[in-house]
Amino acid sequence: MDGMTLVLFLVGLVLLIVGAEALVRGASRLAAVVGISPLVIGLTIVAFGTSAPELAVSVASSLAGQADLAIGNVVGSNIFNILLILGLSALVAPLIVSQQLVRFDVPLMIGVSVLVFLFALDGSIGRLEGVVLFAGVVTYTAFLIIQSRRESNKAVQQEYEQEYRAGPGGPAQTLLNLALIVAGLGMLVVGSRWLVDGAIAVARALGVDEVVIGLTIVAGGTSLPEVATSVMASIRGERDIAVGNAVGSNIFNLLSVLGLTAIVPPEGVAVASSVLAFDMPVMLVVAIACLPVFFTGYKIARWEGLVFLAYYVAYTLYLIFDATQHALLPAFSAVMLAFVLPITVLTLAVTVFRQMRALRLSKRA
């Protein structure tokens, strides 16, 4: 691997992030000019925009015949979003979880994760299954729009008004918005190509499977917009946005990114046996773990954020040890299975039991 390949890899990553930001800003302001509700803009265009890097990389990988990179990017991004992004955000400040998120969005994320796992059991996600997933994101978006029309919170409306209607209008502003959209799309296309080519070169130079590169480096890189959004929201005190961004991004990754990735090639997209045996189950367990954690007082405490971070570090170490067949792999796996996982399950069970008991006592009082 030469130095130019590494430079193109890094430049591609920067282009993805900048391109996604330009696309979101241009499309949001253009939609506001033509009279689309600011809240609908935030719930749809911005949500799609933060998943644009994952979409660009996965589709480009699928077209290039690099199915491992495409699947690894989606699965790795979803694990990254929950364990690392929410972990970091909760360390900044305990995160508030809305009841709607617990009652609808998190169960939906779990349900979609189960559906994707079932689709992948035969070793691939076919074109028809991709159509089903993409139809799901269309339905989900329509539901968000319908819900937004019932929004009566003036403070939220004003927030979006300030964000998306700021600045002068007129033809010049419209042309600028169109230029941002075109530039953003161009940067996403070029950046995804360079990032994929660089990731493949890095994998070959290190002797590591492309799926591992997709699960770690590429997944983390394409999730940087979500990192910035959630952490900054937590710092600003908008802690419900931090949680909603991570959960919403996971739903879009599975329905939109993976759906389109499977639709593009006629034969669908193959799922590596290692991903099916380990990484997808981890993604599913992480999604399920959100429900009891979120349910306990409708917040994510700092210690829960620390647990999320610790698990992401452990997951990454396992991938590295397994890829390199490190001598520590058997001992590391034994410790995780015999001690860490049972203790975590027990802690979650006790926490949920205490919360339910406290709720019953409060009702009696």
Contacting residues for 124 by C-beta, under 8 A, at least 6 apart = 267, 268, 269, 270, 271
Q: Which of 160, 124, 153 is nearest to 41 (CA)?
A: 160
Domain ranges of the chain: 3-326
The residues facing 125 across adjacent strands are 269
- Judge contact between 120 and 249, C-beta under 8 A: no
Q: Quick check: helix, strand or coil at residue 166? A: coil
User: For the packed helices 67-80 and 52-63, what is the interaxial angle rounded to 10 degrees?
Assistant: 160
Please give the CATH superfamily to which domain 3-326 belongs: NCX, central ion-binding region (1.20.1420.30)
pTM (predicted TM-score) = 0.76
pLDDT in tens, 303-344: 888 888 988 888 888 888 887 777 888 888 887 777 666 777
CA distances (Å), origin 53, targets 12, 60, 73, 144, 176: 10, 11, 10, 22, 22
Give the residue from 224, 220, 225, 227 showing the smallest Cα distance to 199.
220
Helix (H, G, I), strand (E, B) or coil at 284: helix
For 38-97, how does the pLDDT look when each residue is reduced to its tens digit (9 = 90+)? 545 555 666 676 677 778 788 888 887 878 888 888 998 899 888 988 888 888 888 877
Give pLDDT tens digits along the chain (365 positions).
567 777 887 888 788 778 767 776 777 676 666 555 554 555 566 667 667 777 878 888 888 787 888 888 899 889 988 898 888 888 888 887 777 777 788 899 999 999 999 999 999 999 999 999 999 999 988 887 777 666 555 544 554 455 444 444 567 777 887 888 788 778 876 777 787 777 777 777 777 777 787 777 777 777 777 777 677 667 767 666 677 778 888 898 899 989 999 998 888 899 988 889 889 999 998 898 888 777 766 778 888 888 889 888 888 888 888 877 778 888 888 877 776 667 777 766 766 676 677 667 766 66
